[in-house]
């Protein structure tokens, strides 16, 4: 899309020079053309912002009444409210969420996606609207007496969600270990509970919550934080107006404290736990 826009700009400049149109007027036409093609204009005309996300606690979860709740739905609904449109959430498998964005299935990904160089080759990221690190959650019986380096062994098995940052972090930090990949976060934890995997890695509050749910089986063996990356909205490349708007929106709600308050509610309390199936 960006090449098409630049091509249009080139045609406008060439045509303008040929017909004696001033460069400032041409520049204004180019700016207007780029702005008109922004996803922001599509959202305003549609009256709906389509948000791609993947369900994992506490970013986005199904409440017992079937409604999506969590940090991401709060962010998405507030964003839609400020744009004067409705929020439409499009749950998508994590390993297919970027291809779905590129295919136009939704307008933006708001799903706890860590900003990485590899992903940035394919999509553009906003400034961070959240920050999280990851800890190891382990099977107590299988890893009792382990030091951190003991996990980097061919005799050790990790589980992780396919396409998520923990999977790449495990592969990088513990390359000798076997890595089992699953599409569902629940299956990742269950492998550790069942003893089919020694450990997994995840952002808080999942490790602490699951250690509380299974105190005889699971624990956090090391006071070590991995991959402390920021999470950003992901948008298709070639849309400076969308990046500008989303970045300003994020900056505003960092300044007001709203993003921090919502993050603290979902990540540091369990006040919402009665709303979801445990």
- Distance (Å, rounded) from C-alpha 265 to C-alpha 275? 14
Confidence of residue 1 (pLDDT cuts 50, 70, 90): very low
**Regarding beta strands 157-161 and 68-69, do their DSSP bridges make them parallel or antiparallel, or are they unpaired?**
unpaired
List, in order of start, the domains of the chain with CATH numbers: 39-129+232-270 (3.40.190.10), 133-228 (3.40.190.10)
Rounded CA-CA distance 6/23 in Å is 16
pLDDT score of 133 more than 60: yes
The full length of the chain comes to 278
- Report the alpha-carbon distance of residue 164 to residue 246 in Å, rounded: 23
- The confidence score (pLDDT) of residue 237 equals 97
- pLDDT given at position 5: 43
Per residue in 214-261, pLDDT (tens digit) is 999 999 999 888 876 789 999 999 999 999 999 999 999 999 999 999
Q: 240-255 and 39-46 helices cross at what angle (nearest 10)?
A: 80
Query: What's the gap between Cα 62 and its chain centre?
Result: 17
Alpha-carbon gap, residue 65 to 174, rounded angstroms: 40
Phi-psi region of 109 (alpha: psi -120 to 50; beta: other; left: phi over 0): beta
- The yes-or-no verdict on residue 171 having pLDDT over 80 is yes
What whole-number percentage of the chain has pLDDT above 70? 86
> Rounded to an integer, what is the distance from CA 50 to the centroid of its chain?
15
User: pTM for this one?
Assistant: 0.70
Handedness of CA 59, 60, 62, 64 (dihedral sign): positive
Look at residues 104, 89, 133 and name the one whose alpha carbon lies nearest to residue 230: 133
Alpha-carbon separation of residue 255 from 129, 232, 251 (angstroms): 11, 17, 6
Torsion angles phi and psi, residue 61, rounded to 5: -140, 160
Average pLDDT over residues 160-186: 93
φ, ψ of residue 64 to 5 degrees: the values are -65, -20
User: Residue 181 — pLDDT band, cuts 50, 70, 90?
Assistant: very high
Beta-sheet strands, E only, within the chain: 48-53, 61-62, 68-69, 86-91, 108-109, 124-125, 130-139, 157-161, 178-182, 199-203, 218-219, 226-231, 234-235
CA distances to 89, 144, 218 from 160, in Å: 24, 21, 16
**Residue carrying the six token digits 């808080």:** 204
């Amino acid at each position: 899309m960006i090449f098409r826009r630049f091509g249009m700009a080139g045609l406008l400049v060439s045509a303008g020079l040929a017909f004696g149109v001033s460069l400032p007027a041409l520049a204004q036409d180019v700016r207007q053309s780029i702005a008109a093609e922004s996803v922001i204009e599509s959202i305003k005309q549609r009256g709906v912002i389509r948000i791609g996300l993947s369900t994992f606690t506490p970013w986005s979860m199904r409440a017992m009444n079937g409604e999506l709740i969590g940090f991401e739905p709060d962010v998405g609904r507030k964003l839609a409210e400020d744009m004067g449109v409705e929020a439409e959430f499009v749950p998508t498998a994590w390993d297919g969420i970027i291809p779905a964005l590129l295919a136009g299935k939704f307008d933006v990904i708001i799903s706890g996606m860590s900003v990485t160089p590899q992903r940035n080759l394919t999509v553009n990221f906003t400034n961070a609207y959240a920050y999280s690190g990851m800890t190891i959650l382990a099977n107590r019986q299988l890893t009792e007496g382990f030091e951190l380096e003991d996990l980097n062994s061919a005799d050790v098995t990790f589980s992780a969600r396919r396409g998520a940052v923990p999977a790449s972090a495990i592969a990088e930090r513990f390359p000798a270990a076997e890595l089992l990949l699953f599409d569902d976060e629940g299956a990742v934890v269950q492998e550790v509970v069942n003893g089919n995997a020694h450990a997994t890695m995840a952002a808080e509050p999942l490790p602490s919550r699951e250690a509380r749910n299974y105190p005889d089986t699971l624990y956090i063996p090391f006071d070590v934080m991995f991959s402390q990356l920021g999470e950003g909205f992901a948008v298709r490349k070639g849309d400076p107006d969308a990046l500008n708007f989303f970045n300003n929106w994020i900056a505003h709600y960092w300044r007001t404290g709203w993003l921090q308050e919502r993050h603290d509610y979902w990540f540091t309390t369990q006040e919402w736990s009665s709303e979801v199936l445990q």
